[in-house]
Structure 1
């Protein structure tokens, strides 16, 4: 009886071996999404007495386009901010502010975060 169960399980699992899986996630897309992970968020107080260089201003946004979508998250706007800072060669961001707007052109609701991209010495 046990042999019959193992045989049926093996046949069932091997029947799926020829099936493929298509995804819209590419290796390049994954790399793009996670590149901001190397960029740390700093407060101005954390950088006092630390050697760093400011590269410029950066912004990140999250937008709710349709009424049936979830409201935009501040975390998504900060993640985009960090990815854009990484594009500039930064390893840190000094977050200035995150502001929520209603009824913006193209967005029912929008979160906009701004900051300064920085390179902090190790």
Structure 2
């Protein structure tokens, strides 16, 4: 019983020593909100839009870039996420994706994926 009380006392002391420690993160609530705002933008094909009432808001682009050689190559999915966030910034709830193209040795990027398309507002 006495050993058990000593163990509980040591555990309490150890945990209370961590009470003043803080946790810092590079992810802010605003950053998370910005990252996920493209989730409300649906990707459409031209065939899907033939039966849907929509308005084109404008042409947009999204990119993913590899800046340094020790970074992973850019992913098409990251470029598509970028274009969807930009579409959301324009008030779009849909995106007609034209194409994604991979480039090498672009200014500021060792490798880049660039996606282009049309931001659209689909009627409810």
Q: What is aligned with 1:19?
A: 21
Unaligned runs of 5+ in 2: none
Local SS of the residue matching 2:71: coil
Instruction: Describe the superposition over 1:80-109 as per-residue Cα deviations: whole angstroms up to 9, x where unpaired.
Output: 101100010000111110110111121111
Q: What is aligned with 2:42?
A: 40
Greater shift in the superposed pair: 6-15 or 40-49: 6-15
1:31 maps to 2:33: yes
Greater shift in the superposed pair: 100-109 or 1-10: 1-10
Instruction: Describe the superposition over 1:44-101 as per-residue Cα deviations: whole angstroms up to 9, x where unpaired.
Output: 1222211111101110001111111110011111111011000100001111101101
Aligned length: 122
Local SS of the residue matching 2:62: strand
CA change 1:20–1:52 in 2 (3 A) is same
- The CA RMSD measured in Å over matched residues stands at 1.4
Q: What is aligned with 2:83?
A: 81
Greater shift in the superposed pair: 83-92 or 4-13: 4-13
Normalised by the length of structure 2, the TM-score is 0.90
Match of 2:72 among 66, 70, 73: 70
Greater shift in the superposed pair: 81-90 or 23-32: 23-32
Greater shift in the superposed pair: 22-31 or 87-96: 22-31
Normalised by the length of structure 1, the TM-score is 0.91
